[in-house]
Amino acid sequence: MKNMLKWMTFLIAATFLTGCASGPVETPGEAFAPASIDTTALEPGVGHLMIILDSSFSMAASQKGERHFDLAKTAARRMIRTLPAGMEIKSSLRSFEKGKSLYGPAMHSTDDFMAALGRMSEIGGSSSMSRGIDAVSGALSGAGEKTAAVIISDGDVIGDDPVRAAARLKKQWGDSLCVYTVHTGFDLRGARVMDGVARAGECGFFVNAKDILAPGAMADFVKRALFVPTPYPDSDGDGVFDHLDKCPATPESVKIDALGCPLDADGDGVGDDRDQCPGTLKGAGVDARGCWFLGGALFDSNDTALKPGASVALDEVARILAGNPLVRAMFIGHTDSRGSATYNMRLSIKRANAAKAYMFKKGIDPARISTAGRGETLPRASNDTEEGRAANRRIEIQIMK
C-alpha cells in the first residue's frame, strides 16, 4: 500500500513536471554539427550498437528546465548522427518498459532509427532497469555480432538491482558484449548505479550525458565505444607497417632498416641482399648488382687503348682511390663477343692493365691495384647490338679485402 501511495504521489509530480518544465527538446532540424571521426587508423570494434533508453516516470523530472527524458533523447540522437557515414553496423533501440524493442536489430539506417526514436514520446512505468537489461539477452541472440549496449538513464531505480542484472548478462555473453552507461540525472545515487552497471559490463565505461553533448565530446565517445585501432598491415612481413614501408616488397628473411628497405652497408643504393660486390667505396658508380664499373665507351672494338672520353670516368676512380689510401682494388677487364674466346681473354687483361697504367699517371701506387680479365664470359648487355657490345667493353673494379 505504501509503495502504491509512493508511486501515485510520484505520478502526480511527474505529470506536473511534464506539463510545466518540459525544457528544450532537440529536434532533427536543430543545430548540431557532428564532428567527423578520422577512421584512417580505426576499424569497427563492434557489429551492433544497441541503445536502451529509460522512459520511466522518474525521467519526467527536470533540472534547469530540462527533463531527463529529453536529455536522454538528445544524447541518443546526437550519438546516431555522429556515426561515420556509410558505417556498416547493426543497430537497435529499446526501452526499459518490459525490454520493449522499438527498432532492430537491423543493418543501421539513420532515418529508421530516428523515426523510432521520435516515436518515444510517452513517459510511464517504473524504473525497472533490471528487467530492461534482462530482456537484452534475446536481442543479442538475434544480432549475431559483438554488441555495444548503451544504457541512457537517470539511474533512479526503486527496489531494483541493475548491477547484478548487468553482471548476469556479461557472464552469459562474455567478450561479445560491452556495456556503456550515460547518466541523465543529477543525483549522486543515480550516478553510482549507472557507474556500477558499466563496471559490471567490464569493457565499457560510464559518462554523464551533459559531458558528451558537444560535437567533439560525442565523437570521442562514439570512437571509444565503437572503434578499435586498426592493426596496421605489413604486406611483406618485414616488421615495418605498410604506411611506413619505403620498400613494400622486401623478400622474407632480408635484413632491413627502419624504413623497411634492405640494409645497404656500403651505401651504393643496392641492398645487401642483392649486392654482389659489397664494400664499394663511397661515390663509386655501380650497376644493378652493386658492382663498381666503368662503362661509357672506354674502348673501341678490338682495341686496348683508352678512348679520350674515358678520362672523365677514370679521373673519378683516381679521386676515390686517393681518398681511401689503405684500400686495394682489382681492375677486371671485359670484352664483347666478337673474336675468339682466347683472344678476348687476353684482350680483357690488356684493357685492365691500361686502366691501371692510367691510375699510376694520376699518382695511385700501382702496388694497390691488381688486374684480371674475364673476356667475353660475363656480358652485362646483349652482344646483338652495337650499344650492347659497347657496354660490354668495360672495366669493373673490385675492392680487395
Instruction: Write out pLDDT tens, residues 203-242.
Output: 999 999 999 999 999 999 999 999 998 877 787 888 888 8
Distance separating alpha carbons of residues 223 and 27, to the nearest angstrom: 24
| Residue 321: per-residue pLDDT | 95
Mean pLDDT value of segment 19-43? 67
Of 189, 185, 171, the residue nearest 134 (C-alpha): 171
| Residue 17: per-residue pLDDT | 40
Residue 396, classed as helix, strand or coil, is strand
- How many Å separate Cα 107 from the centre of its chain? 25
Q: Which of 123-132, 368-377, 378-387, 389-398 has the highest mean pLDDT?
A: 368-377
Which domains can be identified in the chain, with CATH numbers? 2-229 (3.40.50.410), 292-400 (3.30.1330.60)
DSSP-derived secondary structure letter, 331: E
- Give yes or no for residue 143 having a pLDDT over 60: no
Distance separating alpha carbons of residues 83 and 141, to the nearest angstrom: 24
Dihedral in degrees, nearest 10, Cα atoms 238, 240, 245, 248: 20
Of 172, 183, 167, 145, the residue nearest 63 (C-alpha): 183
